[in-house]
C-alpha cells in the first residue's frame, strides 16, 4: 500500500503532466457544473447545444491563458497568497476572453449567469487543488521526525519568525517541534500565527521553558540591537535552554532559504551592527576586469579584502605577503572558493622597494589595497624603530611604487589609533596618512580608510578570550572602563571597498564604528555564549593598562573634524595637521634617527611631525632610564 509521501513524490516526478491533466479536468468540470447549477441540476435538452459550444471554448482559452501566465508551471506544494492572486487574474482573463468567443460563435440565448458561475467554480477548483496539494505535502513532510524533534520556541513573532516557522513546518531537515512564539509586544500575546500561539514575552521565558519542556529557543529578530540580543541570551541561559539565531532575511534570500542558517548566537550578534549597504555597481565598476594588488594579503583584513574583491570579478588578485605559511593557506582558499579569479601569491616585504617594483612591473595592478602593517600597540612600544621602518617607510615604498607603475587607486588601511595618538603604532599610522596627503598631486588617487578594532582579527581580544575560557579561565581584561570600537572583518572590508569609491583622492575616510563597547562586557558575553556563567564558572581579572594604551579610542567619526559623504557609514576627515616643512625632509630625518637608533630623538621627531602625539608613560620612562644609565657611565 502506497503511503501519502510516496504519492506526493510521484506527483513531484510527473508534476507537469499532472498539472495539465488536473487543470484540463477542472476547466471541463467547472463548465458542466456551471450549467447544472444554473438549471438546478436539471439541464434542459435545448441547452445541451449551448454546452457543446461553450465547453471546448472555455477549455482552449483557459489553457492558453494559464500557459501564457505561467500558471501551469511551478510546484503546487509551495503555493502562496501571491500565486492565488495570479490564479484569480488568470481565471478572470480566461472568462472574459471566453465570453467574447462564445458570443461570436455560440447560438443565441446563452444564459449570462453561467459566465459568473463558471468563473467562481473554476477559481475554486484551480486554487483548491493547489491548496490541497500544499497541505498534503506539509503534513507528510512533518511525519517521520518523531523522537528526533526538539521542543522549540521561536523568539520573535515578526516576519522573520513567521518565515522560520513556515520553513520548519515544510522542511524535514529541521528537527524542531515548535510549541509557540515568544514576543515582547504585549498586543501579540494570545494571538495564533500559522497555528502556533504567542505564549508571552521574554520575562516569561523561564516559566514557559519549564512548562513546555523546551530544549531550544530560536531567536528570529534580525533587527535586534546588541543590548537586546544580550538580554535575550541571558534570559535563555537562565532558563537552561539552548539558544540559536538566524541571519538577516536579505542574506537568507540570497542563499536560498533558512536551511543551514540556524546557528549558535555569535559575539557579532551582540554588537547589534546593522547590515552594510553597498553601492555594488560603483564598486564593480572600479574593480571588474582589473588587476588588484593587496599587501598583507594573508592577514585578517588583507585576506578578507581578497575574498570581497573576488566577488566583483577582477582580472586577477596579487597577494603580496611576507609570511610564507599564511600566504600558502590563502592561496589554497582563493583557488577553491574563486576558481575563475586568478590569484597570484607573491612573497615579499613592503620594506624592499626592489621587490615591490618587480611585482608591480610583472602584473601592472590598477588598484592597490595596502593592508600590511605592524599593529600591536605594546609590541610596537618596545620596537619603535621597527614600527617606523615598516609602517612609515614601507607605506612610502608601496605608495611611490604605485605612482611610478601607473596605479589608478591606492587605498591604505589606517587605524583609530592615529587619532591623537598615545603610542608609536598610532603615530606611525598618522604619519602614513600624512604621506598620502602629501603625495596626492598626480595620476594615482590616494585614500586612507580609518577604523577601529575588528572582531576575530589576529591578536584581537576575541581569540585570546576564547583560549582563556577553554582553559577554564581566568579571562584577563586590562581595565574595567576600557572601551573600544568594534566591527566585523567582512563589514570593515566591505566599507573599505566602498570608501575607495567614495574618496576623491588625498582624503582620509572614517568609517562609522557605532558605539564603543566595554571590553569587560565583551568578555562577559563571550563567557555566556560558551554556556558558562561570568564570575562563577569563569573569573574575570583586571591586569592594568598596557604600554601605549588609552581607555577610550577616538575616531573623530560623526561630528568633530569630519564631513558626510553619499554613504551613511563613511565620512571624510577634514582636519589637516600637516607639519611645517617638506614631508620628504621629515622622512630623511626619520631615516637618520633609525640608523643611529636614538629613541629620544625619535620621540621628539614624532612629536614635531604628528602635532597631537602624546608619548606613553612607558616610553618616557624608558627614555629617562636610558639617559640616567648614560649619565652614570659618563660619570664613571
Catalytic positions are 417
DSSP state of 276: P
Backbone φ, ψ for residue 572 (5° rounding): -105, 130
Contact 359, 320 (CB under 8 A): yes
DSSP state of 113: H
User: Exposure pattern of 165-183 as b/e (b: 16+ CB <10 Å)?
Assistant: bebbbbbeebebbbbbbbb
Distance of CA 576 to the CA centre of its chain: 34
Contact 59, 23 (CB under 8 A): no
Contact 420, 614 (CB under 8 A): yes
Long-range contacts of 142-145 (CB under 8 A, 24+ apart): 142/169, 142/172, 143/5, 144/172, 145/172, 145/175, 145/177
The residues near 434 (Cβ < 8 Å, ≥ 6 apart) are 577, 578, 579, 583, 609, 610
Contact 592, 599 (CB under 8 A): no
User: Nearest Cα to 212, choosing from 237, 191, 181?
Assistant: 181
List alpha helices for 178-314, DSSP H.
Answer: 205-211, 226-239, 249-255, 280-287, 300-310
The residues near 85 (Cβ < 8 Å, ≥ 6 apart) are none
Question: What is the distance between the alpha carbons of residues 110 and 51, in angstroms, rounded to a whole number?
Answer: 9
Question: What is the distance between the alpha carbons of residues 466 and 473, in angstroms, rounded to a whole number?
Answer: 9
Question: What is the distance between the alpha carbons of residues 334 and 344, in angstroms, rounded to a whole number?
Answer: 10
Question: What is the distance between the alpha carbons of residues 181 and 497, in angstroms, rounded to a whole number?
Answer: 40
Sign of CA dihedral 99, 102, 104, 110: negative
User: Exposure pattern of 34-43 as b/e (b: 16+ CB <10 Å)?
Assistant: bbebbeeeeb
99's grid cell:
465570453
Angle at 158 between CA 268 and CA 248, to 5 degrees: 30
Tell me the three state secondary structure of residue 196: strand
Amino acid at each position: 500500500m502506497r503511503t501519502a509521501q510516496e504519492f506526493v513524490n510521484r506527483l513531484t516526478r510527473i508534476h507537469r503532466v499532472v498539472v495539465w491533466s488536473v487543470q484540463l479536468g477542472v476547466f471541463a468540470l467547472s463548465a458542466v457544473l456551471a450549467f447544472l447549477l444554473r438549471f438546478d441540476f436539471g439541464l434542459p435538452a435545448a441547452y445541451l447545444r449551448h454546452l457543446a459550444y461553450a465547453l471546448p471554448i472555455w477549455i482552449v482559452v483557459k489553457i492558453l491563458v494559464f500557459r501564457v501566465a505561467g500558471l501551469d508551471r511551478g510546484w503546487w506544494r509551495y503555493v502562496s497568497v501571491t500565486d492565488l492572486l495570479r490564479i484569480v487574474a488568470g481565471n478572470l482573463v480566461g472568462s472574459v476572453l471566453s465570453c467574447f468567443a462564445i458570443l461570436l460563435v455560440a447560438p443565441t440565448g446563452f444564459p449570462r449567469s453561467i459566465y459568473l458561475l463558471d468563473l467562481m467554480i473554476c477559481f475554486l477548483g484551480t486554487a483548491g487543488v493547489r491548496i490541497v496539494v500544499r497541505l498534503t505535502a506539509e503534513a507528510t513532510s512533518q511525519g517521520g521526525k518523531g523522537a528526533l524533534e526538539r521542543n522549540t520556541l521561536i523568539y520573535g513573532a515578526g516576519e522573520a519568525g513567521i518565515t522560520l516557522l513556515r520553513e520548519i513546518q515544510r522542511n524535514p531537515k529541521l528537527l524542531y517541534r515548535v510549541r509557540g512564539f515568544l514576543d515582547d509586544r504585549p498586543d501579540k500575546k494570545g494571538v495564533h500565527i500559522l497555528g502556533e500561539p504567542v505564549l508571552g514575552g521574554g520575562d516569561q521565558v523561564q516559566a514557559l521553558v519549564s512548562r513546555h519542556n523546551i530544549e531550544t529557543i530560536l531567536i528570529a529578530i534580525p533587527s535586534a540591537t546588541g543590548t537586546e540580543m544580550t538580554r535575550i541570551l541571558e534570559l535563555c541561559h537562565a532558563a537552561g535552554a539552548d539558544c540559536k539565531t538566524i541571519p538577516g532575511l536579505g542574506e537568507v534570500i540570497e542563499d536560498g532559504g533558512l536551511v543551514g542558517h540556524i546557528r549558535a548566537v555569535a559575539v557579532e550578534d551582540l554588537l547589534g551592527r546593522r547590515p552594510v549597504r553597498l553601492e555594488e555597481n560603483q564598486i564593480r565598476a572600479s574593480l571588474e576586469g582589473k588587476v588588484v594588488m593587496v599587501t598583507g594579503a594573508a592577514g585578517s583584513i588583507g585576506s578578507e579584502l581578497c575574498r570581497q574583491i573576488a566577488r566583483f570579478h577582477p582580472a586577477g588578485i596579487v597577494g603580496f605577503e611576507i609570511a610564507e605559511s599564511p600566504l600558502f593557506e590563502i592561496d589554497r582558499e582563493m583557488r577553491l572558493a574563486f576558481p575563475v579569479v586568478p590569484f597570484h601569491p607573491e612573497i615579499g616585504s613592503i620594506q624592499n622597494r626592489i621587490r615591490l617594483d618587480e611585482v608591480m612591473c610583472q602584473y601592472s595592478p590598477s588598484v592597490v589595497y595596502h593592508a600590511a602593517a605592524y599593529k600591536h600597540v605594546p609590541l610596537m612600544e618596545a620596537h619603535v624603530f621597527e614600527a617606523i621602518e615598516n609602517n612609515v617607510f614601507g607605506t612610502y615604498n608601496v605608495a611611490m611604487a604605485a605612482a611610478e607603475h601607473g596605479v589608478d587607486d591606492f587605498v591604505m588601511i589606517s587605524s583609530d589609533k592615529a587619532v591623537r595618538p598615545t603610542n608609536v603604532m598610532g603615530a606611525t599610522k598618522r604619519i602614513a596618512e600624512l604621506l598620502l596627503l602629501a603625495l596626492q598631486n598626480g595620476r594615482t588617487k590616494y585614500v586612507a580608510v580609518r577604523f577601529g578594532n575588528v572582531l576575530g582579527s589576529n591578536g584581537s581580544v576575541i581569540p585570546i578570550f576564547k583560549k582563556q575560557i577553554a582553559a577554564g579561565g581566568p579571562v584577563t581584561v586590562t581595565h574595567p572602563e576600557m572601551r573600544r570600537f568594534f566591527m566585523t572583518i567582512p563589514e570593515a572590508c566591505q566599507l573599505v571597498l566602498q570608501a575607495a569609491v567614495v574618496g576623491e583622492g588625498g582624503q582620509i575616510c572614517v568609517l562609522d564604528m557605532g558605539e564603543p563597547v566595554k571590553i569587560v562586557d565583551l568578555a562577559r558575553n563571550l563567557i555566556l555564549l560558551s554556556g558558562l556563567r561570568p564570575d562563577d564558572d569563569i573569573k574575570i581579572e583586571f591586569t592594568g593598562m598596557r604600554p601605549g594604551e588609552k581607555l577610550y579610542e577616538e575616531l573623530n567619526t560623526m561630528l568633530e573634524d569630519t564631513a558626510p559623504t553619499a554613504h551613511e557609514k563613511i565620512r571624510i576627515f577634514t582636519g589637516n595637521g600637516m607639519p611645517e616643512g617638506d614631508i620628504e625632509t621629515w622622512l630623511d630625518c626619520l631615516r637618520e634617527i633609525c640608523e643611529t637608533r636614538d629613541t629620544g630623538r625619535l620621540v621628539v621627531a614624532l612629536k614635531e611631525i604628528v602635532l597631537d602625539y602624546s608619548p606613553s608613560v612607558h616610553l618616557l620612562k624608558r627614555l629617562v632610564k636610558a639617559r640616567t644609565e648614560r649619565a652614570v657611565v659618563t660619570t664613571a
